[in-house]
Chains A and B, each alone.
Chain A
Amino acid sequence: MRRQLRSRRAPSFPYSYRYRLDDPDEANQNYLADEEEEAEEEARVTVVPKSEEEEEEEEKEEEEEEEKEEEEGQGQPTGNAWWQKLQIMSEYLWDPERRMFLARTGQSWSLILLIYFFFYASLAAVITLCMYTLFLTISPYIPTFTERVKPPGVMIRPFAHSLNFNFNVSEPDTWQHYVISLNGFLQGYNDSLQEEMNVDCPPGQYFIQDGNEDEDKKACQFKRSFLKNCSGLEDPTFGYSTGQPCILLKMNRIVGFRPELGDPVKVSCKVQRGDENDIRSISYYPESASFDLRYYPYYGKLTHVNYTSPLVAMHFTDVVKNQAVPVQCQLKGKGVINDVINDHFVGRVIFTLNIET
C-alpha cells in the first residue's frame, strides 16, 4: 500500500537526482514508530563492537523484512468473533502461507536470534570479565571479610536435625544413630590419623605459621583420645547405653579467629531453665573444658587442609532421667560473645536431654 503511494508520487518530485520520496505520512509514522525500531536496532548494537558493515547489513535485511511484515499486518482485518480471533492467533503462531512463526519468517527468526545471541554473548563476556576482576580482588585463601561470621557459632555432635536428645536407654534403637553419628564424626580425629597428618604443637600458645598465604599450613593434632570417656574408644556407645550421654561441642571455624591470648575459650554447661540440679555433674574432656590456643588461628580450607576443629566433650554423667532437661552450653572467655538475642548459636548452644529409662 505504501509502495503504491510512493510510486504515485515519486515522478512528480522535482529534483534532478533520484530521490526516494516517501509519503509524508509514512515519514511521520516512522517517527512515531521509532520505538518499535529501537529494540530491533538495539539488538544489533552489541557491546563488543562488530564491524560496522556487517551490522548494517544485518539491520538492512531486518528492516526490509519488518517492512514487509508490517505492511501485511496492516492489511489484516480485525475480527471480533472469537473464532476470528482464534484464526488470527493461529495465523500469528504459524502462518503456513508465508511460513512465518510468530509473525517472523525463519530467516527473520534466525537473524534476530543471532543478533540476540551476539548481544547476550557480549553481555556474558562482560559479566565474565567482571567476575574475573572480582576474583582478582579476592584471595582464595583468606576471606576478605570475616566480621559476619564472627563471633563464632557453636555446634554440637551428635546432631541429627534436632537439638533434642530423646532416647530410651533400654532401647538401643533410640540412641544408636547418635553413636553412629559420633563415631563417624570422630573418624577424622583418630589418633593414628592425627599423628600421621598433623603436628604436635606446644599447647597454650597460638600456632602461628608465617609465610605466604598460599603456602600450606600445618595443623595441630587433636587426638580422639583427648576425649577420654567420650572418645568412644573405651565406651563405644559414648555413654548412651548407660544413660550418660557424651555430647561433643565444636566451635565454628573462622579464618584468623584467635581467642584472647592466655585465656582459652572455656565451655560451661548448665540447665537453661529449671532446676540447676537436674544435671548434677558434667565431665568435660579435655578436662580443662577449653579449646587450646594452639588450634588457632585457622588459615582457611585451601592451605590449612588437615585442620581439625578442637572439640570439648561433655559427659552428662548424672542427668535427671525421664524428664526433658534444657541444657545451655556457653563459651566463656575474654572477648567471647554468647548472648546474641537473634542468634542462639553464637557462643552458646541449647539442647534438651530427655533420657528415659
Chain B
Amino acid sequence: MTKLPNDAFLRLSTSSITSHTLYGSHGVNQASQVSRKQSPYSMLLSPGTHCHCLLVHCSQSLQREEAGFRANHKEIWFMKMEQSPDNIWPFITSFFRHHPELAGAKTSALTEVCETGIEAFLSASPGQGHVHELGSLESVGANDQEGSLSLIKEPHSSRVNEHICGSLDRTWARRELAGAAGPALGAQRAPGLHSPGCRTRPLETPPPGVRLLKGRGFPGGPQSRTLPTPSCRSPSLRARRRVSYPPRRPLACALAGTWAGRAAFKAGATSPVQRLAIGRGGACRARAAAGISTANTSATATATATRGPPPCAPPLQSRIRAPRPQPAEPPAQHAPGACSPRAGRGCETLGQGPGDRSRLTGSEEKAKRRNAPGALSTSSETPFGANIAPGLLFQKTPEIYSVELSGTKDIVKTDKGDGKEKYRGLKNNCLELKKKNHKEEFQKELHLDDHKLSHRELEEKYGTDIIMGLSSTRAAELLARDGPNSLTPPKQTPEIVKFLKQMVGGFSILLWVGAFLCWIAYGIQYSSDKSASLNNVYLGCVLGLVVILTGIFAYYQEAKSTNIMSSFNKMIPQQALVIRDSEKKTIPSEQLVVGDIVEVKGGDQIPADIRVLSSQGCRVDNSSLTGESEPQPRSSEFTHENPLETKNICFYSTTCLEASTSPVGTVTGMVINTGDRTIIGHIASLASGVGNEKTPIAIEIEHFVHIVAGVAVSIGILFFIIAVSLKYKVLDSIIFLIGIIVANVPEGLLATVTVTLSLTAKRMAKKNCLVKNLEAVETLGSTSIICSDKTGTLTQNRMTVAHLWFDNQIFVADTSEDHSNQVFDQSSRTWASLSKIITLCNRAEFKPGQENVPIMKKAVIGDASETALLKFSEVILGDVMEIRKRNRKVAEIPFNSTNKFQLSIHEMDDPHGKRFLMVMKGAPERILEKCSTIMINGEEHPLDKSTAKTFHTAYMELGGLGERVLGFCHLYLPADEFPETYSFDIDAMNFPTSNLCFVGLLSMIDPPRSTVPDAVTKCRSAGIKVIMVTGDHPITAKAIAKSVGIISANSETVEDIAHRLNIAVEQVNKRDAKAAVVTGMELKDMSSEQLDEILANYQEIVFARTSPQQKLIIVEGCQRQDAVVAVTGDGVNDSPALKKADIGIAMGIAGSDAAKNAADMVLLDDNFASIVTGVEEGRLIFDNLKKTIAYTLTKNIAELCPFLIYIIVGLPLPIGTITILFIDLGTDIIPSIALAYEKAESDIMNRKPRHKNKDRLVNQPLAVYSYLHIGLMQALGAFLVYFTVYAQEGFLPRTLINLRVEWEKDYVNDLEDSYGQEWTRYQREYLEWTGYTAFFVGILVQQIADLIIRKTRRNSIFQQGLFRNKVIWVGITSQILIGLILSYGLGSVTALSFTMLRAQYWFVAVPHAILIWVYDEVRKLFIRLYPGRLQPGPLMCPRFLVGRLWEGPLQPGPLMCPRFLVGRLWEGPSFCSSTREKGSTAFPSTAHLALTHLTEPENYVWLSFPHLVACPVTSLHYSLTRGHLGLMALGWHLLDRKRQP
C-alpha cells in the first residue's frame, strides 16, 4: 500500500449504505487511530448515507477531545454540503453561535476543520466515493489512492498562526504553497474581479477563543497524488474491484471544483452561476466556475514552493491578496483523468465563469509528469501557454506517486491500443463487426489525437492555415481524396429483389413447383388430347395466385420497416461557413474537407468533427451522440485525453447552442474528420454494420417451414415413386405429387401468422408499444434480458418534490406522475408558512394558454427545481399565480451560486395590517445559518442544538436518498421598521437577512415512474433479467436501481458485503453478492469472459457510465448467454445497441430519430411498464401462434390422407386440390386468426422466457400430435362422411376399392354400383364432387372441434372458458358460413367442384368432432396430472383432487404437495430452502414472487401451500409487507394454519 503522507488528509467517501459502519465506533476509531499514527492530525469522520467526510485537524493536543466533538457534530458537515467555500465563514459564525460549548482551545482547531471540512464537503457531497474501506490502514491507503482527497488548507493571510506553521514538515509546506497557488490562479483567471481573502465576511467577530489556524494548506502535491480517478487506479486494484463502484471520479471533479471554488473564493471572484447540486451526476456539478485551479497547478506550485519560502511566507499571502498573473500557473487546460473519459461531460463546470471552465485531471497529468516532463508541456499547449516545471516534483515525491503511476501507465497503454484498434475498426467496420474479435472494435473509443495538438501542429498536420483557411484548390484535392462530407448510405437491396425474395420464400417455392407441374401436366394432356380438362390449369392458376398474394402481403410488411440511415442523413447540416482563400464562404457542408476552418454559430449544427480553435461561450448539445442531456461547453482547451471527453472537439451533427452568457455562441474550428470518418459516421456505420438479427419468430417460422416442406416433399416423392411403381402413368403421378404438396402445405398459415402478429401489434400500439417490425411482437415475449436505460424510461425525467421536512417530521410527497394525492398532513400551520414560501419564492411560471392541460403536464418557464416547486404548490394550493398576485412582490434577489439562496419580499394580503414577508429558499445549510428560530407547529422556537440536530438528521436522510434538498425560511418584517412605503434596495440590502425563521426542508428527485417497480417485479417473476445500462453515475444509477427494484432491497453488491462485514472487497465471496454495479471503466478492461461471468453470475446488474460501444458489448455479452436481449434507449449512441439487440426498444417521446429507426419497437409513452405489457403480449402471441399452427397442421393430414388412400386403395378421389385450397385459404383462415385472441392460459408472466433453441414454435410433439393423433382422427372422420355419401348414393365402401380406374374412364358411362345401378361419367363426377364437399364438410366440422381444443394447451376448455374468446365463435361461425356458401351458393360452379350437400351429411362428422374434443380433454387432463416428468408416490396427487377432496380439512403435508405443479411456479420449491441456506431472515425475492403466484388462479394456492408453511413466518411477513397486500388475507390464513398444531 502506499505510504501515507505524514500530514493531514481528508477522506471523502460515499456510499449509500455504509454510513452506520463508519458511524459506529469501529470505523471511526480505526480511522482516527490511523490518522493519529500517521500524522499530527486526527481525523474526523462524518458519515452520512451518501456523503462522508473525514477531516483532519492539526493540533495533536486536541486528539482526545475530538472524539466528543466528532460524536456531536459530524452532521455539521452535511449541513454544509451545498455550501460554497465563500460561505464558510457565515457558516462558522452560525455554527459557533449554536455550539458555544465548542468555543475555546478546541475551536481553533474546529475552525479550521470547519473550513477545510466544508470544503471537503463541497467536494464530497456530490462526489460519491467509498467509505467502507476506511476500516483499516490498508484500505485507507487504498482509499487514499482511489478516492480520497487531501485537503487543502488555505492560509488565511490575516491570521496566520506561526507556531502551527512551524510544526509543519517540508511536505506540508510544499502543499501549502501549492494550495496557495490555486487561488492565485483563480485570481489570474478572473483578474477583473474584486479581491479576496478578507472580503466581506460575516465573520466580523470570530467566536471567542477561535484561533484560526492559518497559513497552511494541504495542497497540491498530495492532492494530485490523491486525486481520485478511476483511471489512475492501479490495475490490480481495478481487477480486485471489478464489480465495485467506479469510484470517485466525480469526487475528483468535485475536488477540482472545490479547488476552483476556493481559488475563486480566495481571489474574491464572484462566480455568477456557482451552483452545487446533488442528483444525477451531481458529483461534478459542484463546481466553482470562476477561478480555475488544476491539479497540476498545484503540482507546479508545489514544485515551486519546495524551493520557495515556507508555507506561511508573505509572498504567498500577497499573492492571494493581490492576485496577479502567475507565470508559473498553467491554465486549467488538461485535466482529463479526473473524470472518466466518457463521463467528462459530467465534469464540466456548470458555472459560466469569466474564464474558461476546466476539469481537473488526475491520471493523465500524472502520467505525463512521470514519463516525461515534455509531455506536460505539450499538453499545456494553450493560448496562455504556460509551462510547468515538474522536475522537482518527481524528485520529491516518487514513492507517493508510485501506485498511480503504474496505474496511469496502464491506462496510457490501453489508450494507445485503443487507438490502433479503432483505426482498424473504422476502416472496415462493417465486415469486422461480424467477426469474432469485434468486441475490441466496439470497445474502443474513436481514436483521435487532434485535440492534443497545438494549433501549429494542427496546421501542419492538415496543411492548412488557421487564419487563411485552405486554398480552394487544396480543398478540391482533398474533397476528391476523401469524398464528400456525408454519411454513406448502406447498400440498398433493390425493391424488386426484395419482392422476388418474398415470392420464393417460405412455402412459395413449393407452391410454384406445384403450379408449374400443373401447367406442364395440362400441356402434356393437351398435346395428346385437345379436349383435356382444364382442371389442372385452374389449379395452377390458383396456386400461383396464392403465392403472389401471400408474397405481396409479406412484401408490404417488409417495406414498412424503415431505413436506419435516413435519420443519420437528416442530421446533416446544409450549409457551412468556411474560411477558404482567406475569405469567408458559405458552402454546402458536403463539400467540407479536413483542414477547413469553419465558423459555427449558436443554433447551427456542427458540420463535421471539428477541433475548436476558439470559442465564445459555446455549448453543444451532445445528447444525440452521448445521451447526455446537459449542454456541453466547448472551448479551445485540451481537457481530456479522450476525444469524446475533451472540450475542444465538437462532433458532427451535434447542435451548437446559443450560450447563455454570451450573446452569440460561436465556434471557430478546424475540420478534422468528415463524412463516415466522423464519430457519428462511425456510430452510423456501427449501427448499419450490425446486421439485422433474425428475429426469434422468424427463425421459428423458418424452422416450421422446413419441417412442413420436408414432410411435404418427402411424402410427395415417396408417393410419386409408389405411384410409378403401381404402374400409374407418370403424368398421373405428377398430379398426385401436386396434390400431396398442396395438401401438406398450409398455404394460409404464413398470412395468418402475419395477420396475427399485426393484430397483436395493433393491440400493443394501443398500449403504447408501437411495433415497427411485426416479428418483434413475439421477440419481446421471448426476451430474457432487458437492458434498460435509466433516464426517462425508468424515471419520469423531471424533478419532482419527493419529501418535505417540517415540524421535525419527514413527510412523503406523492411522486407519481400526476401528483394526484398528496397525503401528508397539511393542517399544520408550519405547512401554511412553508407553502407560502414555496409559492412566493419562486420565479417559475406556467406558459400561458394551457388552461386545459393537467398541471403536471403544463409547460413552465423556469429551471427544473422551481418548476417542480411550482407544480407542487399548484397541485396543493391551487392557483399559484393568483396567490402571487395577492402577495405582490416588492423586492427580489434571484438565486445565484454565490448566495446560494433566493430571496423575495412580498406585501402580505394579511388583513391585520400590511406587513412585508421576506421569504427565502436555498441550500439548506445556507438557509439554516441565516436563521435563529425554527417554526414548529406554527410556533417559532429558538434554533437550539437539538433542533439543529433534527434538522441535520433530516437533511442527511433526504440527502441520503439521493435527493436535492432545499431549505425554506421566512421573516415577517416588523411593520414599524418597514412601513408600507419602505423602499427595499437589493444592492444595499437594507433589510435583515439573518435571524430568520426556519420553516422546513423540501427535497426533489427525478423519481422513478410509479409503474416501474411493479413492472420490474413482473419482469422478475417472468424470469426476465433487468439490467440497467446507463451513462449516468453509478451511485445515482444504483439508487434508482434500488428504488425500482432492479437491485432488490435485500441484495447486496460485493462492495456492500465488504462494507457490512467490514472486510476488504477482495475477501468477499463473490457468490454471496447478488447485485453488481459495473462501470464503463471497469467494463473497458474486461475480457469478454469476464463480462460473461458477470452476466451469468449476478442476477441484478447495473452498468453505469457506459459508452455506445460498451452498450453493444453488453448486448453481445447477453446474447452470448443465449439470451434474447431487449434494449431500450433513446440517443444516437444507443442505436448500435438497439440494432444489435434482438429487439430494440426506442423511446417515442425522448428518443432520437436514429434510435427510433434502429429500434424494432417504439414506446410511445417512454414507459418501462409498457415493455412488460409487450412481453406479456409477446408470450401470449407465441403461445397462440403455437395453437394456430397446431390447428393448421392438424387438417393437413386430413387433406393428405385422401391422396394416399386414392393412390394406394384406388378409391375415387375423396377431396380435390382446389377444395383443399378452399379449406386452407377459406374456412380455416379466420378461426386460426381468432386463436390470436385467445387469453393466456394461466401464469404467462410467471414462467421463464422460452429458450430460443429449445422451446421451438413447432416441435416434434406438436407435429406428432397434430399429424398422427388429431390429424388422423380428423381424416377418419372426414372419410366417414365420404363413405356415408358414397354408400347412400349407391357405392358401398367395398365397391369403391380399386374402383378408381373404371371410375375415371370418360367413356364408361354405365358403371355399375353396389346396387346394380349404372352411372354415367358425369354422374360419377358429380358424385365425386359431392364426395369432395362431404370430405370438406367433414374436415370443417372437425376443425371446429380442433379449434376449440386448441384454445388451450394444458388447461381444460372449461377452465379456460368456452365463451371467453368471442372471436373464436366468430371464427366458427365464419367457418360454417363459408362452408355453406361454398356448398350451396357456389355449388353450381363447375371449376370449384362443390355440390349442394344434403343437410344431414353436415352432422356425420359431429360425433368424431366430439371424440376429438374428448380425447384432447383426456390428454390435457393427463398433462395436468402428470406434467413434465411423472412423479412417483404420494406426490402424484392431482390438483383437481387436492382442490376438491381435501379442501376443508386440508392439512399441509407431503400428500398435498404436487411437486409438479409447484414446480410450475418459478423457483417455487426452492425459495424457502435458499432462505435457510443463507441463514438470513430476509426473504429472497423469489419468495415473494412465488407468493404472487398465489394470486393466480386458485389452482396454485393449495399447491404452493406446503412450501409457504415451511417457510419461516418472518419471511412470510416480510413478503407480505412488501406490498403484496392482496395476499394478506391468504398469508394470514396460511400463518394461522401453521400455528395450528
Contacts and interface: CB of A to CB of B under 8 A. Distances in A.
Interface stretch (A38-46, A93-101, A195-203, A264-272): A38-46
A20 B1459 contact: yes
A36 B1457 CA distance: 24
Which of A28, A63, A131 has the most chain B CB atoms inside 10 A of its CB?
A28
Given A30-B1428, A163-B1307, A343 B1453 contact: no
A18 to B, nearest CB: 8
Interface stretch (A137-145, A285-293, A317-325, A330-338): A137-145
B703 interface: no
Contacts of B1209: none
B1466 A33 contact: no
Contact of B1316 (A301, A342, A345): A301
A144 B1398 CA distance: 12
Interface in A126-141: 126-127, 130-131, 134-135, 138, 140-141
Contact of A22 (B1251, B1273, B1284, B1463): B1463
Interface in A55-69: 56, 59-60, 63, 67
A33 B1255 CA distance: 7
B1481 to A, nearest CB: 14
Contacts of A60: 1430, 1432
A354 B510 CA distance: 49
A166 to B, nearest CB: 15
B1316 A346 contact: no
Given A33-B1428, A345-B1322, A39 B1260 contact: yes
Interface in B1276-1335: 1276, 1279-1280, 1283-1284, 1287-1290, 1292-1293, 1307, 1309-1310, 1312-1323, 1326-1327, 1330
B1469 A41 contact: no
Interface string A14-51: 11011111111111111111111111111011010000
Interface in B1326-1357: 1326-1327, 1330, 1353-1354
A153 B1318 contact: yes
A89 interface: no
A39 B1190 CA distance: 12
B259 interface: no
A21 B1463 CA distance: 9
B1264 interface: yes
A88 B1288 CA distance: 54
B249 interface: no
The DSSP consensus for interface residues of chain B is: helix
Interface in B1413-1465: 1415, 1418-1419, 1422-1423, 1426-1432, 1435, 1453-1454, 1457, 1459-1460, 1462-1465
A27 B1468 contact: yes
Contacts of B1457: 19
B1390 interface: yes
A21 B1465 CA distance: 13
B1427 A12 contact: no
A32 B1250 contact: yes
Contact of A32 (B1255, B1280, B1287, B1469): B1255
B1468 A253 contact: no
B1272 interface: yes
B1023 interface: yes
B1319 A14 contact: no
B1247 interface: yes
Contacts of B1430: 56, 59-60, 63
A307 interface: yes
A24 B1466 contact: yes
A142 B1292 CA distance: 12
A177 to B, nearest CB: 15
Contact of B1415 (A25, A28, A37, A45): A45
A253 to B, nearest CB: 5
B1320 A343 contact: yes
B1098 interface: no
B1497 interface: no
A150 to B, nearest CB: 9
Contact of A31 (B1261, B1279, B1283, B1428): B1428
Contacts of B1415: 45, 47
A22 B1507 CA distance: 13
A126 B1287 contact: no
A121 interface: no
Contacts of B1510: 14-15
A14 B1463 contact: no
A149 interface: yes
A109 B1462 CA distance: 32
A148 B1279 CA distance: 20
Contact of A252 (B1288, B1317, B1326): B1317
Given A37-B1427, A134-B1283, A300 B1315 contact: yes
Nearest to A252: B1318
B1432 A34 contact: no
B1318 A47 contact: no
B1430 to A, nearest CB: 5
Which of B1320, B1390, B1466 has the most chain A CB atoms inside 10 A of its CB?
B1320
Contacts of A144: 1287-1289
B114 interface: no
Nearest to A15: B1510
Contacts of A149: 1289-1290, 1313, 1317-1319, 1323
A349 B1320 CA distance: 11
A255 B1284 contact: no
B1011 interface: no
A34 B1269 CA distance: 17
Given A30-B1427, A47-B1411, A298 B1259 contact: no
A28 B1287 contact: no
Nearest to A20: B1459
A258 interface: no
Interface string B1465-1498: 1111110110011000000000000000000000
Contact of B1254 (A32, A42, A152): A32
A14 B1265 CA distance: 40
A346 B1290 CA distance: 18
A350 to B, nearest CB: 11
Given A14-B1510, A153-B1320, A255-B1316, A250 B1310 contact: yes
A28 B1247 contact: yes
Nearest to B1429: A63
Given A22-B1469, A63-B1429, A144-B1288, A31 B1463 contact: yes
Given A27-B1468, A131-B1280, A161 B1418 contact: no
Interface string B1231-1261: 0000000000000000110110011000111
B1407 interface: yes
Interface in A90-112: none
A117 interface: no
Contacts of A153: 1309-1310, 1318-1320, 1323
B1315 A301 contact: yes
A36 B1411 contact: no
Contact of A148 (B1273, B1312, B1330, B1463): B1330
A304 interface: yes
B707 interface: no
Nearest to B1390: A342
Given A37-B1427, A149-B1313, A155-B1309, 16 more contacts: A12-B1477, A21-B1470, A24-B1463, A27-B1460, A29-B1428, A35-B1259, A36-B1260, A41-B1419, A42-B1419, A60-B1432, A142-B1315, A143-B1289, A143-B1313, A145-B1288, A252-B1320, A255-B1315
**Lowest 4 CB-CB distances: which A-B pairs, in order?**
A30-B1428, A301-B1316, A27-B1463, A153-B1320
20 contacts: A18-B1454, A20-B1431, A22-B1463, A24-B1468, A27-B1468, A27-B1469, A29-B1428, A32-B1255, A35-B1353, A37-B1423, A37-B1429, A41-B1422, A145-B1290, A148-B1319, A153-B1309, A161-B1307, A163-B1307, A300-B1316, A302-B1316, A345-B1322
